[in-house]
Structures are given as structure tokens and as C-alpha cells.
């Protein structure tokens, strides 16, 4: 699910230019349709069992922010904004570039169920009169721009531009397990005239290397982490394989092919792929995705999800994504996900409503749980290796 769009997607400003990657029905929506979403959220409260260590050694080469895994649908970490700090749960999203959180002035029902920022309570906050609008694949926010100190993983980012919401329409945002979004894509995707969080970390000399990396744990709620300024080699096996960024907007690269049992089933002759931590599924062109659903035996349900026999995870072959000459197998146990009532779903879905080219793919958390991923801004490349 482009579960958020989370993300993945966009950046704009007063001109309201939107670049939505996609709108994909998710297992979360399946829960909602079966009236089970609220029960799940109530049994999995927002409060994390741990917090990012703001007292960590400021001279440490690598800064870690733990993230909680919600049903393999979203990975949420804690940041704080302001003086004294006000805490928020955010998605660290490589598919967008802006930071925003709800404000105390927000009138939407979504803000009543999430942490909200109060500018008056922060001695370091500077509010601007600039209105903003951010549109994501599964939600949106309208609000205004402010500047304040942002803290996470022992890092203290001063005078950081961020959005404060006034409106977050729709039930999606109301039931989201996160308060806001912290974008990690390129500055060219950010609000005009602002500097994204990661660029400020580097500009202010807070990190020793211009890199960040993700380890996404499978199924377990704890253990996932995003790291800034360095790479912890204990999170992956073997060597990192690097691929150049093909377009400095999203974290985009050129993919050679997608194959199964040695036969190319998609991306024949090459295509583009976005590496997006804000998307939970594997997203591709509608006609190609339909062919893949047929190959793996998935059938569309009345809700629009593709159902598949759970036993197929033990019999179907790997689907191999080849990037820069390196094969990245995704086993059936990864591209088939178990939902409520022991129902299983295909982890493939169609790219819709996007300004990306028609042959583009989005490799979301289904892929990233298998491969530790390094985002190297200094060299504009992405490194991947099998996750431990």
C-alpha cells in the first residue's frame, strides 16, 4: 500500500503542485472494511516501548533512531520538536522531502487522535505566514510553515523548516499510526525555498558522512532502525552492491529486469524504480501487475485486493529484481502477506495517478525488509545487501 504515500510522494508549496506516486488499497483498508481497524489500533497503542536517545554521544559517527513495525504496514520512529521538546511519531519517508506534524490549531478529527504541536509552548519556534499544502498517495495536509529545533537519535537540528497542519481531511489520517512525516528524498522534491532535514544535518555539521540507512525488521514490532551519518555493518551480510541514482528527485535508479524461474516477466529491456520506505508494497504498471497476479494465482476480491492461497508461499518461486547487474530475489513468503482471518494477499499492486513514467516501479517495504539499504547523497547512489 502506498500506505502513506506516504507517502511516497510529493512535494509542493503554495502553488499546490502535486506529484502523487500512487493510491493503493492496503491491508489497513481491508481491516477498516471489516470494522477491525479500530480494534487493532486500540490493542496496539501509539506509545512506543522505547524512544530515540536524545542524550546519545554527539560525537558518535552513526546516529540511530529505533522504529516500531506496525503489522509490516508502516515503520514509525520518534522525534521531538521545540524547546522544551514536544514528541511525535513520524514515518521516515524516502519518497518525500518535507517534515510536518499536526498543530494545536488543526480542526480535523485526525488531529484529535494524534500528538499536536503548540508553537506558543516552544521558546525557539518561529512561525511564518506562508501557507502550505502537501498531497500524498493516501492522504493530505494543509497548514503553514514554521521553524524550530528538531531532535532525534542524538542529533539537534536547529531552525528546521517544518509544516504544521490546520487540516488533515479523510479517515486515513484519522486512523494513521503516525503523527506526521519526515521526508528524506532530494531537496528538489521539497517545499520551495526550504532545506530538508537531512540536508540541514549535513549543512550544520551534525553528521560525519552524507549517508543514511534503513534496516526494517520482519514481523517483529521492535528492532527496526534508521541510521544517520554512517552505516552499521552488523545489520547486513556480505558486501553492499551500489547502483547510481538515475534522477535526483526521488531515490530513483535504473532496474534491468524482473524475472521468475529464469524468464523475464516485467521490466523487459529496463525500467525505472523508486526505493521508497513510505510504501509498503511492490508497485508497478497496471498491465504488468495484472500479468504477475495471474502468474502467481492471485484473484481480485470485491474490495480490490488480490487474494491468494496462503499455501502458495511454500510452492511459488522467487521473483528476482535485477538492479545494476545484481539479482535481488524476493521469495513468495515475502510477496504473499497474511492478513486478518488467515486470508493471504498479493504484495503487488498497480501504479496509478502518478507523474512517473508508465514503466516505473516503486520498491517498498516488502523489498526493503529483505535488503539493508544505504542512501548515499555524497555519491548519489544506493547500496543494498541482504539484511540479517
pLDDT digits (tens, 9 = 90+) for 303-328: 888 999 999 999 999 999 999 999 99
- The mean pLDDT value of the chain amounts to 86
- Distance separating alpha carbons of residues 347 and 284, to the nearest angstrom: 11
Buried b (16+ CB within 10 A) or exposed e, 184-215: bbbbebbbeebbbbbbbbbeeebbebbbbbbb
Question: Same structural domain for residues 139 and 178?
Answer: yes
User: Which of the four pLDDT bands, split at 50, 70 and 90, describes residue 353?
Assistant: low
Q: What is the pLDDT of residue 230?
A: 96
Helix (H, G, I), strand (E, B) or coil at 25: coil
Question: Same structural domain for residues 94 and 200?
Answer: yes
Query: Which helix (H) or strand (E) is 180 found in, with range?
Result: strand 180-183
Alpha-helix residue ranges (DSSP H) falling in 101-165: 109-112
CA distances 72 to 26, 41, 176, 218, 369, Å, are 11, 14, 14, 7, 9
Q: Please give the average per-residue pLDDT across 356-379, as a whole number.
A: 93
Q: Hey, what's the cell of 303?
A: 474490495
Q: What is the pLDDT of residue 357?
A: 64
Is residue 22 domain-resident?
Answer: no
Question: Same structural domain for residues 224 and 252?
Answer: no
Q: Say how many Å lie between the first and final Cα of the chain, rounded.
A: 24
Q: How many domains would you assign to the chain? A: 2
Cell 506534524 found at:
101
Q: Which of 4, 8, 100, 1 is nearest to 354 (CA)?
A: 8
93 a catalytic residue: yes
Higher pLDDT, 58 or 107: 107
User: Which of the four pLDDT bands, split at 50, 70 and 90, describes residue 47?
Assistant: very low
Question: Same structural domain for residues 61 and 199?
Answer: yes
User: Which of the four pLDDT bands, split at 50, 70 and 90, describes residue 44?
Assistant: very low
Range of the domain at 253: 233-386
Q: What is the pLDDT of residue 60?
A: 54
What is the reported pTM? 0.87
Return the percentage of the chain with pLDDT > 70, whole number: 83
Q: Please give the average per-residue pLDDT across 15-28, as a whole number.
A: 35
Is residue 15 domain-resident?
Answer: no
Question: Same structural domain for residues 35 and 176?
Answer: yes
Question: Same structural domain for residues 96 and 185?
Answer: yes
Task: Evaluate the omega torsion of the peptide bond into residue 84 and state whether it is cis, within 30 degrees of 0.
Answer: yes
Instruction: Check 179, 256, 276, 376 and give the catalytic one.
Output: 276
Is residue 6 domain-resident?
Answer: no
Question: Same structural domain for residues 52 and 166?
Answer: yes
Q: Which of 363, 269, 384, 254 is nearest to 22 (CA)?
A: 363
Other CB atoms within 10 A of residue 302 CB: 6
Is residue 5 domain-resident?
Answer: no
Question: Same structural domain for residues 316 and 376?
Answer: yes
Question: Same structural domain for residues 114 and 237?
Answer: no
Question: Same structural domain for residues 172 and 281?
Answer: no
35 a catalytic residue: no
Instruction: Check 93, 98, 349, 359 and give the catalytic one.
Output: 93
The domain boundary residue, chosen from 194, 228, 262: 228
Q: What region, left, alpha or beta, does residue 349 occupy, with left being phi > 0 and alpha being psi -120 to 50 degrees?
A: beta
Question: Same structural domain for residues 325 and 270?
Answer: yes
Is residue 128 domain-resident?
Answer: yes
Contact by Cβ (8 Å): 173, 110? yes
The domain boundary residue, chosen from 165, 197, 228: 228
User: Which of the four pLDDT bands, split at 50, 70 and 90, describes residue 3?
Assistant: very low
The domain boundary residue, chosen from 204, 228, 252: 228
184-214 pLDDT per residue, tens: 999 999 999 999 999 999 999 999 999 999 9
Q: Please give the average per-residue pLDDT across 79-98, as a whole number.
A: 97
Q: What is the pLDDT of residue 23?
A: 31
Is residue 12 domain-resident?
Answer: no
Q: Which of 269, 295, 387 is nearest to 348 (CA)?
A: 295
Q: In what order do the strands lie in the sheet with 306-308?
A: 299-300, 306-308, 344-346, 336-338
Question: Same structural domain for residues 76 and 211?
Answer: yes
Q: Please give the average per-residue pLDDT across 142-156, as a whole number.
A: 97
User: Which of the four pLDDT bands, split at 50, 70 and 90, describes residue 73?
Assistant: confident
Is residue 38 pLDDT above 80, yes or no?
no
Helix (H, G, I), strand (E, B) or coil at 264: strand
Can you give the CATH number for the domain in which 357 is found? 2.40.70.10
256-287 pLDDT per residue, tens: 999 999 999 999 999 999 999 999 999 999 99
Segment among 56-70, 83-97, 159-173 with least mean pLDDT: 56-70
Q: What is the DSSP letter of 236?
A: B
Amino acid at each position: 500500500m502506498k500506505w502513506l504515500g506516504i507517502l511516497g510522494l510529493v512535494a509542493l508549496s503554495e502553488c499546490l503542485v502535486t506529484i502523487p506516486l500512487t493510491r493503493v488499497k492496503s491491508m489497513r483498508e481491508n481491516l477498516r472494511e471489516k470494522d477491525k481497524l479500530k480494534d487493532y489500533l486500540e490493542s496496539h497503542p501509539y506509545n512506543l516501548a522505547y524512544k530515540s536517545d536524545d542524550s546519545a554521544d554527539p560525537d558518535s559517527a552513526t546516529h540511530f533512531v529505533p522504529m516500531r513495525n506496525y503489522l509490516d504496514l508502516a515503520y514509525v520512529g520518534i522525534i521531538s520538536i521545540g524547546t522544551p521538546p514536544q514528541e511525535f511519531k513520524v514515518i521516515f519517508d524516502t519518497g518525500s522531502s518535507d517534515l510536518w506534524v499536526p498543530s494545536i490549531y488543526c480542526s480535523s478529527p485526525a488531529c484529535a487522535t494524534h500528538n499536536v504541536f503548540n508553537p506558543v509552548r516552544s521558546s525557539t519556534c518561529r512561525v511564518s505566514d506562508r501557507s502550505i499544502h502537501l498531497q500524498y498517495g493516501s492522504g493530505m495536509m494543509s497548514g503553514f510553515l514554521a521553524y524550530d529545533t528538531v531532535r532525534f537519535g542524538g542529533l539537534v537540528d536547529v531552525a528546521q523548516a517544518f509544516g504544521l497542519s490546520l487540516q488533515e481531511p479523510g479517515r486515513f489520517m484519522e486512523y494513521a499510526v503516525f503523527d506526521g512525516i519526515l521526508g528524506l528524498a532530494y531537496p528538489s522534491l521539497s517545499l520551495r525555498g526550504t532545506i530538508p532535514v537531512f540536508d540541514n544535518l549535513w549543512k550544520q555539521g551534525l553528521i560525519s558522512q552524507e549517508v543514511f540507512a534503513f534496516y526494517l525488521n520482519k514481523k517483529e514490532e521492535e528492532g527496526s532502525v534508521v541510521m544517520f551519518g554512517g552505516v552499521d555493518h552488523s545489520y547486513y551480510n556480505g558486501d553492499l552492491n551500489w547502483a547510481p541514482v538515475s534522477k535526483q528527485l526521488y531515490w530513483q535508479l535504473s532496474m534491468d529486469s524482473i524475472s521468475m524461474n529464469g524468464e523475464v516477466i516485467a521490466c523487459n529491456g529496463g525500467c525505472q524504480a523508486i526505493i521508497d520506505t513510505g510504501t509498503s508494497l511492490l508497485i508497478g504498471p497496471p498491465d504488468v501487475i495484472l500479468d504477475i497476479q495471474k502468474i502467481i494465482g492471485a484473484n481480485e476480491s470485491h474490495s480490490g485486493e488480490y487474494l491468494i492461497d496462503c499455501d502458495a508461499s511454500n510452492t511459488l518461486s522467487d521473483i528476482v529484481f535485477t538492479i545494476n547487474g545484481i539479482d535481488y530475489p524476493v521469495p513468495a513468503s515475502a510477496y504473499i502477506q497474511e492478513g486478518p482471518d488467515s486470508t493471504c494477499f498479493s504484495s503487488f499492486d498497480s501504479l496509478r495517478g502518478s507523474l512517473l513514467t508508465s514503466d516505473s516501479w516503486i520498491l517498498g517495504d516488502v523489498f526493503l525488509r529483505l535488503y539493508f539499504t544505504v542512501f548515499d547523497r555524497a555519491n548519489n547512489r544506493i547500496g543494498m545487501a541482504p539484511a540479517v
